[in-house]
């Protein structure tokens, strides 16, 4: 799941990550809460557009999940310190490929193997909720 307050960033990241993974997104905290209540996620991405309060709120929600998903925080160059509840961070400046690589590494997914899949097969991964 990708959580962001910026709808344009959210849509862009969904398109980029959706090439390799099943992605759900939330543009509001209430949406994120509802998605967390409905399903299980392996990775949650917290966008740099979220406030520290938003990140802390998500960290509190995620902490009680079993199994607990991994949390990746996206950071702007000027952001200091570790985002609440994040297992890892990636700078926005690394671009789309940097984000893909970080997600794949956290989920132990081989992006090259996914690229080599049959062209008619749409690769899916681990961002979508499991029923």
Give the separation between CA 96 and CA 14, rounded to whole angstroms: 11
pLDDT of residue 39: 86
Domain membership of residue 96 (yes or no) is: yes
Tell me the percentage of the chain whose pLDDT exceeds 70: 85
Q: Please state the domain count of the chain.
A: 1
Q: The pTM is what?
A: 0.83
Domain membership of residue 88 (yes or no) is: yes
pLDDT of residue 64: 83
Domain membership of residue 11 (yes or no) is: yes
pLDDT of residue 23: 94
Token pair, residue 34, equals 């509802």
Domain that holds residue 64: 2-115
* Average pLDDT score, the chain: 85
Instruction: Enter the DSSP assignment of 95.
Output: H
CATH number for 13:
3.40.50.2300
pLDDT tens track for 55-81:
999 988 988 888 889 999 999 877 767
Give the number of other Cβ atoms within 10 Å of residue 114's Cβ: 17
């Amino acid at each position: 799941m990708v959580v962001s307050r910026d709808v344009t960033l959210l849509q862009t990241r969904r398109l980029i990550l959706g090439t390799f993974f099943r992605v759900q997104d939330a543009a509001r905290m209430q949406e994120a809460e509802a998605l967390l209540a409905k399903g299980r996620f392996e990775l949650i991405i917290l966008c740099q557009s979220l406030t520290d309060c938003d990140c802390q709120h998500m960290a509190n929600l995620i902490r009680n999940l079993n199994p607990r998903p991994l949390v990746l925080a996206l950071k702007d160059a000027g952001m200091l310190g570790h985002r609440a509840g994040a297992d890892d961070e990636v700078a926005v400046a690394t671009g789309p490929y940097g984000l893909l690589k970080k997600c794949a590494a956290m989920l132990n997914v081989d992006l090259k193997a996914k690229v080599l899949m049959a062209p008619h097969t749409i690769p899916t991964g681990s961002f979508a909720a499991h029923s």
